[in-house]
Structure 1
């Protein structure tokens, strides 16, 4: 486990904030009793502490009656309750200041967590091994939740990453502006540097030099520099596929931020960059969307 340096706590009324959900909305984390739970809960507790929000731990209990071999409900519920007890203990050790609650809910995990996302400030889930897949499982739990949730989703990996820069990919769309705001806020709260990366196609702007392309991006992020004066932000412009570039730069990051759907939202609930990060990046990924913008029941 990587130990993070002490958090720099921001005053509860400090502005700006990139998590503008309803007052008191919790950071929700879904646990399943696996080893990944430890990293998940620590990351969720960290987010709750950074944003002065309560932490809500959820474990699902999908009970289906079997008439041929009746099993007492408590036999099935007791192991699930033990998972929650362990999770609460981890959460309280991770940050004693954070208010931690837990609940056991019946239903399929995707359905339950999507329902929880409707009232959450942030949903934290594990990747289910998605980042190590050589195939593309379109029905992966993490993918379905990230695509349909009613709040931003932080997809954690097997381990908590070491301290490093925050990385965000932008394309000039309104949704990438929201991701940029989240990324600046995340860098401020953690005391980290920020890398802002954009793909550039010389064929579309043949008269533009490399230096001019960087200058344009630098000018675009200037309003956020004024809003977050303590954040050191480095603009990077590269020629190539946007998804490949963000995945490569994010390899040494503490967190990578991407908007849910980018500049072509009509093509699906998750854009190409956010999908590539979920499949091919080993860094935790924060998929950003407007609070309660989307909640699709499955």
Structure 2
């Protein structure tokens, strides 16, 4: 399934500390690709006579959208944007929005500060099941640095490389392409064929993006820890889904490790699957 030319970048906002950072990064993504930014806030109206009137509940939500719109315009003054206040659960709303989005952006909900693994976290569920790629943002804007892409030369490699090269190109930064080799003996050096495989995967993308300086890197050891360590100096880290179906199980161990432990924004890249496209 290919993306329509008018597919927006969608950013989900709430009252969390990460939301305005997410809006800024989403605005830059939308502006770089000449796409509209769609700012979405999901709100559940409570039908209870003891609660405030709907208008009193709605006002703070509208204020949040106005703040997000002002933040986006400050980040990218030429940006086209729209705002939507949608009644319904946040997860359902964001998954539905992902069906027509080029990219979904949202805050991590404090994931990187968690000691346990909150599988039910909104950002984890959206990243696992969305109909498009998902950028999960931390509270603070990332410092300038390379784009880091972790690849295994398997399913999803081309999708991840395409996103990563594009991201490095419009950011005008270098791309670090990381291939991790897990050997039985951690001291064992990677086989030469691993580096050759990585180089072969990069060839067509180097031709398409001659402006991007590429740093191929092969490391041996624990893949999760290496990827987290490498991400600390990156502006954004890109990894692919473990598969193409919208199932939580398809969010692999590497993706989850990055979401929970990397201080850097993480992009979980997937080919659009069309499940949430509205008729």
Aligned with 1:290 (options 268, 271, 279): 271
Residue 233 of structure 1 corresponds to which residue in structure 2? 214
Residue 99 of structure 1 corresponds to which residue in structure 2? 80
| Alpha-carbon distance in structure 1 between the residues aligned to 2:70 and 2:242 | 36
| Alpha-carbon distance in structure 2 between the residues aligned to 1:199 and 1:22 | 34
Residue 11 of structure 1 corresponds to which residue in structure 2? none
1:73 deviation in Å? 1.1
| Alpha-carbon distance in structure 2 between the residues aligned to 1:292 and 1:265 | 8
Is the 8 Å Cα contact of residues 151 and 294 (structure 1) preserved in structure 2?
A: no
| Alpha-carbon distance in structure 2 between the residues aligned to 1:37 and 1:267 | 23
Alignment pair present for 1:214 and 2:207: no
Unaligned ranges ≥5, structure 1: 1-18
Residue pairs, 1:173-184, within 5 angstroms: 173-184=154-165
1:129 deviation in Å? 0.4
Residues 266 and 280 of structure 1: CA distance in aligned 2, closer, same or farther (over 3 Å): same
Unaligned ranges ≥5, structure 2: none
Residue pairs, 1:39-118, within 5 angstroms: 39-67=21-49, 69=50, 71-118=52-99
| Alpha-carbon distance in structure 1 between the residues aligned to 2:183 and 2:19 | 45
| Alpha-carbon distance in structure 1 between the residues aligned to 2:157 and 2:243 | 6
Alignment pair present for 1:22 and 2:4: yes
The size of the alignment, in residue pairs, is 275
Is the 8 Å Cα contact of residues 8 and 30 (structure 2) preserved in structure 1?
A: yes
| Alpha-carbon distance in structure 2 between the residues aligned to 1:232 and 1:55 | 29
1:131 is paired with a residue whose SS is helix
Residues 133 and 266 of structure 1: CA distance in aligned 2, closer, same or farther (over 3 Å): closer
Deviations 1:88-127 (A, max 9, x none): 1111111111101101001111111111101111100000
Is the 8 Å Cα contact of residues 155 and 242 (structure 2) preserved in structure 1?
A: no
Is the 8 Å Cα contact of residues 161 and 283 (structure 1) preserved in structure 2?
A: yes
Alignment pair present for 1:31 and 2:13: yes
TM-score, with length taken from structure 1: 0.86
Is the 8 Å Cα contact of residues 153 and 197 (structure 2) preserved in structure 1?
A: no
| Alpha-carbon distance in structure 1 between the residues aligned to 2:203 and 2:19 | 39
1:202 deviation in Å? 4.2
Residues 74 and 264 of structure 1: CA distance in aligned 2, closer, same or farther (over 3 Å): closer
Is the 8 Å Cα contact of residues 16 and 109 (structure 2) preserved in structure 1?
A: no
RMSD: 2.5
TM-score, with length taken from structure 2: 0.91
1:195 is paired with a residue whose SS is strand
1:230 is paired with a residue whose SS is coil
Deviations 1:117-172 (A, max 9, x none): 01111100000000111110110111011011010000000011111000011111
1:221 is paired with a residue whose SS is helix
Structure 1 segments (4+ residues) deviating >6 Å: 263-267
| Alpha-carbon distance in structure 2 between the residues aligned to 1:208 and 1:127 | 36
Residue 115 of structure 2 corresponds to which residue in structure 1? 134
Is the 8 Å Cα contact of residues 125 and 248 (structure 2) preserved in structure 1?
A: no
Residue 105 of structure 2 corresponds to which residue in structure 1? 124
Is the 8 Å Cα contact of residues 244 and 271 (structure 2) preserved in structure 1?
A: no
